[in-house]
């Protein structure tokens, strides 16, 4: 029995979450889904967008599934997902960039993993107003840079990848990205001495060059590891290559906890219409199953989604179909439970 904290959130969050939970209930595994609150609606009702009880539930669960949240008004509170990542110590953000059959994409055969340092950088939220405007402090530490580099190499081996690429801007951000770059190469030298890792190549790119090559020649990349803001931008760029944010899952991993969420936002413009694409949420559940060690069940769920995408009969409007969120999810469930 796995205890899973479920945070539906705002907008289309509850819709894609409900559809995904319905599929997971057809699994051979046993789950205890415990719902918790976060986001804008929670803020309006309680005065906080991340209640302490939500944090405690997530800490004490085997994993957390997170839908999507709407940001609260500026300056009133820290973003709930950023705060939750920090409170749970989720320092690694894994964002697959993967092509799927039946999905219109720029490239139909990509399988790249972007690993984003999740705990510092420009997302440290150390800002202040000045007479001229405002300043933000970019925090880069050796500890966090080495830690995320270790994740990059272990994920590469786990996924059978043969190249790890560091992405930075050390030619301009000489001190902060200098620390990140040096930390990466220190870790790389350690792994290069290990028999299991000898076949993994290492290289580096400035972030502007990486952004260009991600569009013009993405096949040169297999695993990219980078700092917080760069990873956020590059992973959304990658999503655009394989069908958009509706096909983009993510995993937030720490030493003791894991949180899994679609990359897309709460999409208030389509909330309540029943047309949100559940694929990113379903794929985030696949990442959760792998995190739990249930690799066969994760494979089975992903294959069920691939089947539905290939058939093309039950697809939401963003994928070129006319089906509702529930209809697409039901089609996935029917295959998954066979």
pLDDT band at 75 (very low <50, low <70, confident <90, very high): low
pLDDT at 121 over 90: yes
Place of tokens 């050390």: 170
User: Tens of pLDDT along 266-280?
Assistant: 999 999 999 999 999
pLDDT band at 124 (very low <50, low <70, confident <90, very high): confident
Give 58: exposed, middle or buried? Use CB within 10 Å, 0-12, 13-18, 19+.
Answer: buried
- For residues 286, 282, 229, 162, the Cα torsion angle rounded to the nearest 10 degrees is 40
Per the annotation, the verdict on 236 as an active-site residue is yes
Query: Could you tell me where the beta strands, DSSP code E, fall in the chain?
Result: 2-9, 31-35, 63-68, 92-98, 111-117, 127-129, 134-136, 163-168, 201-206, 223-226, 249-253, 258-262
Q: What is the average per-residue pLDDT within 107-123? A: 96
**What are the domain boundaries of the chain?**
1-91+249-338, 111-241
Per the annotation, the verdict on 25 as an active-site residue is no
**Contacts of 74 by beta carbon, 8 Å cutoff, 6+ apart:** none
Catalytic residue among 98, 169, 191, 300: 169
pLDDT band at 74 (very low <50, low <70, confident <90, very high): low
220: number of Cβ within 10 Å: 14
pTM (two decimals)? 0.95
Catalytic residue among 22, 62, 108, 236: 236
Q: Are strands 223-226 and 111-117 parallel, antiparallel or unpaired?
A: parallel
Q: What is the average per-residue pLDDT within 91-105? A: 97
CATH topology of domain 111-241: Isopropylmalate Dehydrogenase (3.40.718)
Question: Phi and psi dihedrals of 98, rounded to 5?
Answer: -130, 135
Q: Determine the Cα–Cα distance for residues 142 and 204; give it in Å rounded to an integer.
A: 17
Catalytic residue among 10, 177, 232, 318: 232
Catalytic residue among 203, 208, 219, 313: 208
Q: Which CATH number fits domain 1-91+249-338: 3.10.129.10, 1.10.580.10, 3.40.718.10, 3.40.109.10?
A: 3.40.718.10
Query: Which of 4, 78, 10, 14 has the alpha carbon at shortest distance from 41?
Result: 10
Percent of the chain at pLDDT above 90? 94
For residues 28 and 87, the answer to whether their CB atoms sit within 8 Å is: no
pLDDT of residue 76: 59
Q: Determine the Cα–Cα distance for residues 180 and 226; give it in Å rounded to an integer.
A: 8
Q: Is 234 helix (H, G, I), strand (E, B) or coil?
A: helix
Catalytic residue among 91, 123, 191, 314: 123
Give 35: exposed, middle or buried? Use CB within 10 Å, 0-12, 13-18, 19+.
Answer: middle
pLDDT of residue 77: 63
Place of tokens 């991340």: 50
User: Tens of pLDDT along 194-221?
Assistant: 999 999 999 999 999 999 999 999 999 9
Q: Is 258 helix (H, G, I), strand (E, B) or coil?
A: strand
DSSP-assigned letter for residue 71: P
Per the annotation, the verdict on 232 as an active-site residue is yes
Q: What is the average per-residue pLDDT within 224-244? A: 97
Q: What is the token pair recorded at 198? A: 């000898």
Per the annotation, the verdict on 182 as an active-site residue is no
pLDDT at 93 over 70: yes
pLDDT band at 263 (very low <50, low <70, confident <90, very high): very high
Per the annotation, the verdict on 123 as an active-site residue is yes
Torsion 262-265-266-272 (CA) sign: negative
Q: Determine the Cα–Cα distance for residues 121 and 129; give it in Å rounded to an integer.
A: 19
Q: What is the mean pLDDT of the chain?
A: 96
User: Tens of pLDDT along 280-325?
Assistant: 999 999 999 999 999 999 999 999 999 999 999 999 999 999 999 9
H/E stretch holding 149: helix 142-158
Domains 1-91+249-338 and 111-241 share a fold: yes
């Amino acid at each position: 029995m796995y205890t899973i904290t479920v945070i539906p959130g705002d907008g289309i969050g509850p819709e894609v979450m409900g559809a995904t939970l319905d599929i997971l209930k057809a699994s051979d595994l046993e789950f205890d889904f415990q719902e918790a609150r976060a986001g804008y609606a929670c803020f309006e009702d309680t005065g906080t967008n991340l209640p302490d009880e939500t944090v405690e539930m997530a800490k004490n669960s085997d994993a957390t599934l997170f839908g999507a949240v709407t940001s609260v008004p500026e300056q009133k509170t820290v973003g709930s997902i950023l705060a939750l990542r920090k409170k749970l110590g989720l320092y690694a953000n894994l964002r697959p960039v993967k092509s799927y059959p039946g999905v219109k994409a720029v490239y139909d055969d990509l399988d790249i993993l972007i690993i984003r340092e999740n705990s510092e950088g420009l997302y440290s939220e150390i800002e202040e107003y000045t007479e001229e405007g405002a300043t933000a402090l970019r925090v880069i530490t050796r500890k966090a840079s080495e830690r995320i580099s270790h994740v990059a190499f272990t994920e590469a081996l786990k996924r059978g990848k043969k190249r790890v690429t560091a992405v930075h801007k050390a030619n301009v951000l000489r001190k902060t990205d200098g620390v990140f770059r040096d930390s990466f190469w220190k870790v790389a030298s350690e792994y290069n001495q290990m028999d299991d890792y000898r076949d993994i190549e290492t290289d580096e790119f400035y972030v502007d060059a990486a952004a260009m090559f991600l569009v013009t020649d993405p096949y040169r990349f297999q695993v990219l590891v980078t700092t917080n803001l760069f990873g956020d931008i590059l992973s959304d760029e990658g999503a655009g290559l394989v069908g958009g944010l509706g096909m983009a899952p993510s995993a937030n991993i720490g030493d003791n906890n894991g949180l899994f969420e679609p990359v897309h936002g709460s999409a208030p413009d389509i909330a309540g219409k029943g047309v949100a694409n559940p694929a990113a949420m379903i794929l985030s559940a696949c990442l959760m199953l792998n995190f739990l060690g249930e690799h066969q069940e994760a494979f089975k769920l992903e294959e069920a989604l691939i089947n539905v995408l290939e058939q093309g009969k039950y697809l939401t409007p963003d994928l070129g179909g006319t089906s509702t969120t529930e209809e697409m999810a039901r089609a996935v469930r029917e295959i998954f439970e066979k």
